Amino acid sequence: MEAEFVIVGAGSAGCAMAYRLAEAGKTVLVIEHGGSDMGPFIQMPAALSYPMNMKRYDWGYRSEPEPHLGGRRLACPRGKVIGGSSSINGMVYVRGHAMDYEHWEESGARGWSYADVLPYFKRMETWHHNGHGGDAAWRGKDGPLHVSRGPRQNPLFDAFVQAGRQAGYELTDDYNGEKQEGFGPMEQTVWNGRRWSAANAYLRPAQRSGKVRVIRALARRVVIEEGHATGVEISRGGRVEVIRAGREVVLTASSINSPKLLMLSGIGPGAHLAEHGIEVIADRPGVGQNLQDHLELYIQMAASQPITLFKHWNLFSKAMIGAQWLLTKRGMGASNQFESAAFIRSKPGVAYPDIQYHFLPIAVRYDGQAAAEGHGFQAHTGPMRSKSRGNVSLRSADPLADPVIRFNYMSHPEDWDDFRTCIRLTREIFGQEAFKPFVKHEIQPGAELQTDEQLDAFIAEHAESAYHPCGTCRMGAADDRHAVVDPEARVIGVKGLRVADSSIFPRITNGNLNAPSIMVGEKVSDLLLGKAPLARANEVPWMHPNWQVAQR
């Protein structure tokens, strides 16, 4: 079993790379532990709460008890299926803010500024504005990844945007274009009524080229001979074998499994590896460190009119929606229901948005539990740039053992201020005139919770991960002791090995991570092929003219 390139993980970045390498005529083997993504639970956008909670499609990771969240262990789903987490995510499409990438560049990831990455965001997408305006000049026209907007038929979607305007915030026609800041339509990776995962967009066409093969197996470690990665040791059907890479091995196994694989292969904090009896090949203290995520709260309101999705929250209605979707790929089943969004700044002096909103016309949790009140709606909100950092480490040298995941959520005192601000700003938005016809009362947190102490207790009990882990194989300058990969995504200290997924983000981007993860796969595929990077973009993103003195 041999190919020029061996990719570990058929997720967002891995599928994109397989496609670009095959397009250039290279042979690729993709190792994926999970199985087929063809069931309706994955392909139907509205069914998104199912695959995330199915052992069959998810690695099923949980954090260690979180000391600042009352010892709760939070779910950390990662896709174990063709398409990776792009097959089980919420399908929300956010590039991130231009300033995120300026920060990457400043922290040592040379060549990853916004001007460098925007051309890749354009290359990867085919954008459908569905008659809702937007910035065509900033968007892609012929990439494999279809990005669309929901129909926004429910009056609550517009009420949310109008309430933002009434509260004095900006509106934006396209948060993935010139202007992220403001209220407007949300975008989704949905095409022709189906989840447009990295598998549908990239992997299947790549397999049809005959250059890409997918092997269903568990990657145990990278084989390194005389400082050079030559292949990957896998187990399948009870046998251990080695798959050889003629040119390079690329880990695209997620911010949880990529550092785990590096450590199992002898690359990581020397003392930690020695503890587990693993021979140290490259002592890189940064492997598994710098773990970041987004936490969010669901701020829920009871509705005074029966216009929310709750009317469909019964078996008969779900069956009808499912049947309509199976037959026509239309109707309620064809959207993730996240159709309005907002990005705002928490206070004056913050240069670009640090709070995100997903608006949903039903009061429900990710695990599918509806609010007891019946008709309601909610905004998911949380700070985008928490200063808290965690880490991923080995539980044992056994490749089958789950890694130890410590997010260390809310360990920075500013996080508490930021979260209380999110709650209070959200209440103000729901208090605007546009919501007057629809709001009955606040379900969660509940209007009686007002003091800092009360809100802190609520946050500790109810904050949930937005499932955006990243940063554990941080990209930086080659002489940075704590960087894991250099700006070409090469693992520092080993030849022929790269990491190309959300684990290389120096800092978490503003928004959901699927789009930037795919962008990493696109950009690193050019580096693997020795191609000159795409010409830098000249577009200048919008910044709030009064950001220094005004919050809105």
Out of 68, 294, 468, 544, the active site residue is 468
pLDDT surpasses 80 at 149: yes
The string of DSSP codes covering 153-222 is -SHHHHHHHHHHHHTT--B-S-TTTT--SEEEE-EESEETTEE--HIIIIIHHHHHTTSEEEEE-EEEEE
Are 386 and 463 spatial neighbours (Cβ–Cβ below 8 Å)? no
In this structure, is residue 11 part of a structural domain?
no
In this structure, is residue 473 part of a structural domain?
no
pLDDT surpasses 90 at 364: no
In this structure, is residue 105 part of a structural domain?
no
Where is average pLDDT lowest: 11-20, 81-90, 105-114, 130-139? 130-139
pLDDT at residue 131, as a whole number: 73
For residue 108, what pLDDT band results from cuts at 50, 70 and 90? very high
pLDDT at residue 174, as a whole number: 97
Q: E-strand spans in 90-151? A: 125-127, 145-149
In this structure, is residue 446 part of a structural domain?
yes
Could you tell me the sign of the dihedral formed by the alpha carbons of 16, 17, 18, 24, in that order?
positive
pLDDT surpasses 90 at 52: no
Mean pLDDT of all residues in 331-360? 97
Residues 6+ apart with CB under 8 A from 435: 159, 163, 301, 429
Rounded Cα gap, residues 284 and 474, in angstroms: 11
Between 217 and 134, residue with greater pLDDT? 217
pLDDT at residue 59, as a whole number: 97
In this structure, is residue 309 part of a structural domain?
yes
Q: Mutual orientation of helices 514-528 and 114-124 as an angle, nearest 10°?
A: 100
Q: Classify burial at 452, counting beta carbons within 10 Å of its beta carbon; exposed 0-12, middle 13-18, buried 19 or more.
A: exposed
Q: Quick one: tokens of 428?
A: 């103000």
In this structure, is residue 370 part of a structural domain?
yes
Are 338 and 150 spatial neighbours (Cβ–Cβ below 8 Å)? yes
Bridge partners of 249, per DSSP, are: 6, 497
> Residue 332: how many CB atoms within 10 A of its CB?
21
Between 127 and 131, residue with greater pLDDT? 127
Q: Quick one: tokens of 513?
A: 């991570």
The chain-wide mean pLDDT, for the chain, equals: 96
Percentage of the residues of the chain whose pLDDT score is greater than 90: 94
- How confident is the model over 398-412, as pLDDT tens digits? 999 999 999 999 999
Mean pLDDT of all residues in 312-326? 91
In the block, residue with structure tokens 């909103």? 357
Mean pLDDT of all residues in 533-539? 97
pLDDT at residue 117, as a whole number: 98
Q: Quick one: tokens of 284?
A: 């890189």
pLDDT at residue 366, as a whole number: 66
Q: Can you say how many angstroms the Cα of residue 297 is from the centroid of all Cα atoms in its chain?
A: 17
Could you tell me the sign of the dihedral formed by the alpha carbons of 412, 418, 420, 426, in that order?
negative
pLDDT at residue 35, as a whole number: 96
pLDDT surpasses 80 at 370: no
- How confident is the model over 173-210, as pLDDT tens digits? 999 999 999 999 999 999 999 999 999 999 999 999 99
Q: E-strand spans in 262-354? A: 267-268, 282-283, 295-303, 340-344
pLDDT surpasses 70 at 137: yes
Are 330 and 324 spatial neighbours (Cβ–Cβ below 8 Å)? yes
Domain range for 379 is 151-185+295-383+410-462
In this structure, is residue 519 part of a structural domain?
no
pLDDT surpasses 90 at 367: no
Indicate which CATH number applies to the domain containing 333.
3.30.410.40
Rounded Cα gap, residues 15 and 299, in angstroms: 35
Exposure on the CB side of residue 348, measured as CA atoms within 13 A = 5
**Number of separate domains in the chain:** 1
- How confident is the model over 442-466, as pLDDT tens digits? 999 999 999 999 999 999 999 999 9
* 468 given a catalytic annotation: yes
In this structure, is residue 355 part of a structural domain?
yes
pLDDT at residue 130, as a whole number: 74
- How confident is the model over 462-508, as pLDDT tens digits? 999 999 999 999 999 999 999 999 999 999 999 999 999 999 999 99
Q: Quick one: tokens of 387?
A: 């200063």
3-class SS letters over 347-369: CCCCCCCCEEEEEECCCECCCCC
pLDDT surpasses 90 at 25: yes
Q: What is the CA radius of gyration of the chain?
A: 22
Mean pLDDT of all residues in 422-447? 97
